Chains A and B, each alone.
Chain A
Amino acid sequence: MDNAFGQPQNVIVLGATSDIARAITRRLCTARGRRIVLAGRDRTRLDEAAAEARDYGATTVATVVFDALAPDHAGDTVRACLDALGEPVDLVVIAVGELGNQSHDQTDPDRAAEVITVNLTWPAAALSALRAPLIAQGRGRVVVLSSVAALRVRPSAYLYGAAKAGLDQMCLALADTLDGTGVTLQIVRPGFVRSKMTTGLAEPPFTTGVSEVAEVVVRGLESGDRVLYSPPVLRYVFTVMRVLPRRLWRLVADR
Chain B
Amino acid sequence: MTRATLTGWGRTAPSVAEVLTPTSEDQVSELLATRPALVARGLGRSYGDAAQLGGGVVVDNRGFVEIGPISAAGVVTAGAGVSIDELLAVSLPRGWFVAVTPGTRQVSLGGAVASDVHGKNHHRDGSFAAHVLSMRLVTPRGTRTVSRREDPDLFWATMGGMGLTGIVTTLTLQLLAVGSDQVRVDTDRFNDLDAVMAAMTEGDDAYRYSVAWVDCMTRGTHMGRAILTRAEHADATDRDPSDTALAAPRPARLAVPLTAPRGLLNPLSIRIFNEAWFRSAPRQRRGELQSLSSFFHPLDGVRDWNRLYGPRGFVQYQFCVPTSEGQCVVDAISRLSSSRLPSFLAVLKRFGPADPGPLSFPIPGWTLALDLPVGPPTLGRVLDELDELVVAAGGRVYLAKDARLAPERVRAMYPRLNDFAAVRARVDPEGRLTSDLDRRLNLGGR
Contact = CB atoms under 8 A, between A and B. Distances in A.
B228 interface: no
Interface in B395-411: 403-407
Interface string A9-29: 100000000000000000000
A224 B14 CA distance: 12
B49 A223 contact: no
Contacts of B5: 180, 182
Interface residues of A, number: 25
A5 B374 CA distance: 7
A1 B312 contact: no
Interface string B253-278: 00000000000000000000000000
Interface string B370-383: 00001101011000
B265 to A, nearest CB: 15
A180 B16 contact: yes
Contacts of A32: 406
A130 to B, nearest CB: 14
A4 B48 contact: yes
Interface string A218-237: 01001110000000000000
Chain B interface size range: 20 to 34
Given A1-B439, A31-B380, A137-B55, A7 B16 contact: no
Given A1-B436, A4-B13, A222 B374 contact: yes
Nearest to A184: B14
Contacts of A138: 3, 15-17, 53-56
A136 B404 CA distance: 24
B143 interface: no
A41 interface: no
B12 interface: yes
B315 A4 contact: yes
A87 interface: yes
A72 B8 CA distance: 41
Given A3-B404, A222-B312, A223-B375, 13 more contacts: A3-B403, A4-B10, A5-B374, A5-B404, A9-B407, A88-B439, A138-B53, A138-B54, A138-B56, A139-B436, A180-B16, A182-B16, A182-B55
26 contacts: A1-B441, A2-B440, A3-B13, A3-B403, A3-B404, A4-B12, A4-B315, A4-B374, A5-B374, A5-B379, A31-B380, A87-B439, A88-B54, A137-B54, A138-B53, A138-B54, A138-B56, A139-B15, A139-B16, A139-B436, A140-B54, A180-B5, A182-B16, A219-B377, A222-B312, A222-B380
Interface of A: 1-7, 9, 31-32, 34, 87-88, 136-140, 180-182, 219, 222-224
Q: What are the 3 tightest A-B residue pairs by CB atom distance, in nearest-first order?
A: A1-B440, A182-B16, A138-B54
